[in-house]
Amino acid sequence: MYVCLCKGVTDHEIRKAVRNRGVTTMRELRDELGVATQCGRCARCAKDVLNEALAECRECPVGASLAAAA
C-alpha cells in the first residue's frame, strides 16, 4: 500500500528500511525515504507503519531479520 503519494513510498519500503537500515524514528525515515517532507498528509500513517515494523522486529528471534534479507 502506498503511504506517501508525493514520494511514492510504500509500507513495504518502510518495513524494509526498519529491517535492513535500522531506521527507528520518523526523522530517520524522512531522511532515508523522504516521507512527510512535502504535503505531510502521510505522517500519521507512516508513523503507524514504522511502529508496527519496530514491534515486528522486537518479536523476531535474533538474526531472523538478517536471514530474511538474504
- The CATH fold assigned to 2-60 is Arc Repressor Mutant, subunit A (1.10.10)
Tell me which residue of 7, 3, 15 sits closest to 46, measured CA to CA: 3
Query: What does the pLDDT profile of the chain (70 residues) look like in tens digits?
Result: 999 999 999 999 999 999 999 999 999 999 999 999 999 999 999 999 999 999 998 876 555 444 444 3
The domain locations on the chain are 2-60
Backbone angles phi, psi at 11, to 5 degrees: -65, -35
Cα distance between the two ends of the chain: 23
pTM equals 0.81
The Cβ-side half-sphere exposure at 46, using a 13 Å CA radius, reads: 29
